[in-house]
Structure 1
Amino acid sequence: MSEDYYERLVDEEALADYLREHLGDVDNYAVDRHQEGHSNETLFVTWGDRELVVRRPPPGETADTAHDVLREYRVTNALAETAVPVPEPILACDDHDVIGSDFYVMDRLEGAVLRESEPDEFGDPDSRQRIGEELVDTLAAIHDVDYEAVGLEDFGHPPGYTERQVERWGQQLMWAFDVTTEEREVSDLYDVGAWLQENVPEDHPHTLVHGDYKLDNVMYAADADGLPELVGVFDWEMATLGDPRADLGWMLSYWRDSKDPEPVIPELTTTFMEGDGYPARRELVDRWESQTGFTFEHDRFYRALAVYKLAALGEMFFRRYLEGNSDDPMYPLMEDRVPALAARAKRIIDGDEPL
């Protein structure tokens, strides 16, 4: 990261003044940028003996729902007293004179985020089983929140949510195709989009949804018995009121079974949950159904929708690469990876990639 980019990200002196005003003076202050995020920016802040996190949009981005950190603050604040584990939100600021954007401050949690591999202490079958159970139980807890009771009754418009998802991601894809079709066509995605439009479920439960719920957006820590306990859910910027089955389908699109074919995007696919002890997707679905009282009807639709969304994201990345708007080495790979995702979506639709 260039020094210039960091300076656009945070004015350390102005942030210190703000924290001093609200949290009191301290002797020890440090700021460090978290490198793993791909959307909103995350800064780790040491403030005396407290470890804090500051979340803000990327500099230069126009405000939209994908970077609405105050929305993220609102939902985590609403969930603080529920069964959903979230970091404790502390402050929210819409004064752009402080660091140049909206931002919020929360407590930093301690634990492990499972990305490329599992921690050694969680490598036994019992721990692996618990990782999957905790993941799906927490998703069920999100879907069980009484959103009116916690003040989120106006947080979204659940009727028609799933149909709007199909339309929105189709529009994103068409935006990308305006440029990428000069390089190659992905005709399968037209077929997938048409099938999704024709097969949108007529109705669905109305719940709080996370919008990007997957293994690397949660944190685990060892409980008193040394088993993994899910201690925090992060990245709530896409949260709204909508269809819980879309959340489940998204989570499942990232979860690997030992019977699965080779991943279509190996560079971005975590495969350690194929190991002994991890629950299969079918087990996760059964557990979610028993926890929520909902049934995972239309599973091919929701799983295909998730892969369609991944393909649309990849195609947008490819357009940005072609236009010279990114130096991310992953983006040019999307020339081949997006057609592979489209083929996967068709396999799900055709019943060739079952739960």
Structure 2
Amino acid sequence: MSAEIVQSTHEARQLQMPPLLIVEEVQKFLDAHGLGTGELEVFRVGEGQSNVTFRILRQGTDLVLRRGPRPPLPKSTHDMLREARVQQALAGHSFPVPRIRAVCEDQSLLGVPFYVMDYIPGDVITDSLAPAYGTPESRRQLSSAMVETLQQLHSVDVSHPEVAALGRPEGYLQRQVDRFAQLWPMNTRREIRLVDELSRWLRDHLPTTQRHTVIHGDFRMGNLMYSPPQPGKTSLPRVEAVLDWEMATLGDPLADLGYLTATYAQAGEPGTVLELTSVTRQEGFHSRDELVEAYAGQSSLDLDALPWYQTMALWKAAIFCEAMYTRWLKGERPGDSFAQSLERGIPELLEQALNYSRKFRVKTGSGC
């Protein structure tokens, strides 16, 4: 067992840094909820820079456990209980989310709350593609399915009690700008003038929210689980599940579209630290403009103010990532090359945000 995964609480106490998973504690938890029998096989899934995911195989069940990173955690982040609650609410509206099987609020087991959900077979697309997606047309279908899923999310009935309880949509944009502006001095040890400059610009140009919907907060191709291609079959790719609901709430749907397009990897453009699905540079995938056109074709929303939302997306991401960089400086993320890369990566994100702000040409009223 590595320092990330240990067999027992006794082993965990011998480590200088707490492990991410203690097998005997998880086994007891699963036993208590009637989820499978016998020994566990545990595998780390992905390289999540924020929350952590494990696949757990056991007789009679195949599960995924999701938890936050090691404490100390920034206030109001890595809320696994809320993340589970969002998915449970959306499941009742036929939206593709994993089935939540059990939630653990007791932090004494793993040091943080966690939940377990059913494992869903499929493809998460990041930096490589299965042979079934070897043609430009198949890759175009992946892009189309992504936009359709975003539209489906933004069509969920927010008046339903379980969904309505997920947030207070009025004033969402103003709260986001105010909250992240306050987070910067708490997250950083350095001065970057563009943070305050963009903060003022966002406040001065706050657009009017046209409609309230469920918003994901980190909607991108790398957070989608596609149905696995079937050999010899020509069925269109389908999104089996949308993952990573930590930042979901009720608010302005253009915040999702702004984030998706601002962080999207496109051929002929330099990459950033937020380029988590580099394959979309390949022929066939939608361009950024085509994503916007596809969304507009299924929406009644006016998208003229989209550069404001793209600016906010990168500005927020820079502030959020700065917390990771500061934790690395403090020695709380040893060996984390991603966090180390943020020394330069965050100023580059802010420069990109500035470029989007210069594309904004729409006169707006007060935001709501």
Unaligned runs of 5+ in 2: 7-11, 13-18, 361-368
1:338 pairs with 2:346: yes
The amino acid of 2:312's aligned partner reads L
Percentage identity across paired residues of the two chains: 32
Residue in 1 that maps onto 2:224:
218
Kept in 2, the 8 Å contact 1:144–1:292? The answer is no
- Give the corresponding residue for 2:260: 251
Superposed, 1:300-339 pairs within 5 Å as 300-327=307-334, 328-339=336-347
Please say if residues 51 and 69 of structure 2, whose CA atoms lie closer than 8 Å, have aligned partners that are also in contact.
yes
TM-aligned CA deviation for residue 275 of structure 1: 2.1
Q: Distance in 2 between matches of 1:270 and 1:10?
A: 27
How far apart are 1:25 and its partner, in Å? 5.5
Distance 2:346 2:112 in 1: 34
Q: Residues 142-221 of structure 1: matches in 2 within 5 Å? A: 142-149=153-160, 151-177=162-188, 179-181=189-191, 186-221=192-227
Deviation at 1:130, TM superposition (A): 0.9
Alignment of 1:235-314 (within 5 A): 235-258=244-267, 260-265=268-273, 268=275, 270-314=277-321
Q: 1:83-131 CA distances to partner (integer Å, 9 max, x unpaired)?
A: 4211111122323454444222210011111112222221211211111
Q: SS at the partner of 1:42?
A: strand
Q: Classify 1:269/1:43 alpha carbon distance in 2 versus 1 (closer, same or farther; 3 Å).
A: closer
| 1:185-240 per-position Cα deviation (integer Å, ceiling 9, x unaligned) | x3233322221111111333111111111111111122652542211111111111
Q: Counterpart of 1:91 in structure 2: which amino acid?
A: A
Shift of 1:180: 1.3
Give the Å deviation of 1:248. 0.8
Task: Go from structure 1 to structure 2 and tell me whether the alpha carbon gap of 1:45 and 1:270 turns closer, same or farther (over 3 Å shift).
Answer: closer
Residue identity matched to 1:262: P
1:132 is paired with a residue whose SS is helix
Aligned to 2:16: none
Give the direction of change, closer, same or farther, for the CA distance of 1:332–1:50 in structure 2 (3 Å limit).
closer
CA shift, 1:132, in A, is 0.7
Higher mean C-alpha deviation, range 117-126 or range 53-62: 53-62
In 2 relative to 1, CA 277–174 (structure 1 residues): closer, same or farther, beyond 3 Å? Answer: same
Deviation of the 1:169 alpha carbon: 1.9
Q: Quick one: structure 1 residues 330 and 21, their matched pair in 2 at CA, closer, same or farther if it must change by over 3 Å? A: closer
The number of aligned residues is: 345
Match of 2:365 in 1: none
Q: Select 1:229's aligned residue among 238, 241, 263.
A: 238
Structure with greater helix share of residues: 1
Other-structure match for 1:133: 144
Q: Distance in 1 between matches of 2:185 and 2:177?
A: 12
Structure 1, 190-199 or 233-242: larger mean CA deviation: 190-199
User: What do residues 237-278 of structure 1 show as CA deviations (whole Å, max 9, x unaligned)?
Assistant: 1111111110111111222333x532244x845432122211
Contact 1:180 1:318 in 2 (8 A): no
Cα pair 2:264 2:275 within 8 Å, conserved: no
Change beyond 3 A, Cα 1:33–1:274: closer
Match of 1:350 in 2: 358
Q: Indicate conservation of the 8 Å contact 2:218/2:259, yes or no.
A: yes
One-letter amino acid matched to 1:217? N
Q: 1:36 to 1:150 in 2, by over 3 A?
A: farther
Counterpart in the other structure of 2:15: none
1:92 pairs with one of 100, 103, 106 = 103
Q: Could you tell which deviates more after superposition, 15-24 or 233-242? A: 15-24
Is the partner of 1:231 in helix, strand or coil?
Answer: strand
Q: CA RMSD in A?
A: 2.5
